[in-house]
Amino acid sequence: MKLTIYQVDAFSSELFGGNPAAVVPLDTWLPDDTMLAIAAENNLSETAFFVEDGDDYHIRWFTPTIEVNLCGHATLASAHVIFNELQLEDALIRFHSNRSGKLPVQRRQDSIVLDFPAYAITEIEPSDALALALGVVPVKSWSSVNNGVLVRLNTEQDVRDLKPDFNALAQLEYERIYVTAPGETCDFASRMFAPKIGIAEDPVTGAMHCTLIPYWANELGKNKLLARQVSKRGGELSCEFFGDRVKIGGNAVTYLKGEIYVEAGSGKSVGA
């Protein structure tokens, strides 16, 4: 079976920035183990697969080790492929996910805007093990959905300077560690670590902002925010808070288009 594959740099207007995601359009779903094998072979933080479903698109996301409930940058990359490579003329894409519901995506001039759920947080006592793994004592910490933990530090420079122990992070109960602080030239800065699910550090994480946008909107008293993820590759996100929803905007650039070959139903990639 021959499949088309795209690799897109999401949350970036230039190549080699933002977060690379693989996108594989499908006519019908492949077996789960085949999609996971493709994601593992790609060795990117996420690979997105989508199937047209009437006027909508059913979308799923895989890390190299698991299927995840939601992925922002791979959804942005998928929308970029549909708009620019598959030549959709409409300005609206209606994605839906069995795990995260309706996920509309809109093209606005030169950017793509995701409409995602807003996630609540619950304050918890900072964990000694978490502080030791991060190499810094959190100012505060909160639990989040999808087995995540949100950690606040004092300054953006504190976030930039982190040199976590990834082996220690992988031993924690949390699958995702979000670290944030007030921004120097933006409203807030962040980094995201998830070695437990096969991602040491995610360069730019759209889904994390489902948690960060409500927090910082309430903290700063404003509903429109500019965010930067200060990983090595880095990325910029325009953010809006709408109570139970958030909007996350960014750019994307196609890096490659190619073909992959799999044995139907085997769960094994056999070449590229």
200 lies in the same domain as 101: no
Query: Mean pLDDT over residues 165-191, rounded?
Result: 97
Of 14, 41, 46, 156, which one is the catalytic site residue? 46
Query: pTM, whole model, 2 decimals?
Result: 0.92
Confidence of residue 157 (pLDDT cuts 50, 70, 90): very high
What integer pLDDT is reported at residue 146 of this predicted model?
A: 86
Query: Rounded to the nearest 5°, which phi and psi values hold at 36?
Result: -65, -40
Number of H helices, E strands in the chain: 6, 19
**235: CATH:** 3.10.310.10
Query: Mean pLDDT over residues 114-137, rounded?
Result: 96
Give yes or no: 175 in active site.
Answer: no
Tokens of 219: 């903290």
The total number of structural domains in the chain stands at: 2
Q: Containing domain of residue 194, as a range?
A: 122-241
| pLDDT above 70 coverage of the chain, percent | 97
Q: CA nearest 246: which of 119, 101, 102?
A: 119
136 lies in the same domain as 216: yes
199 lies in the same domain as 258: no
Confidence of residue 263 (pLDDT cuts 50, 70, 90): confident
Within-domain flag for 116: no
Within-domain flag for 112: no
Query: Mean pLDDT over residues 102-112, rounded?
Result: 94
Within-domain flag for 114: no
Tokens of 138: 């959190």
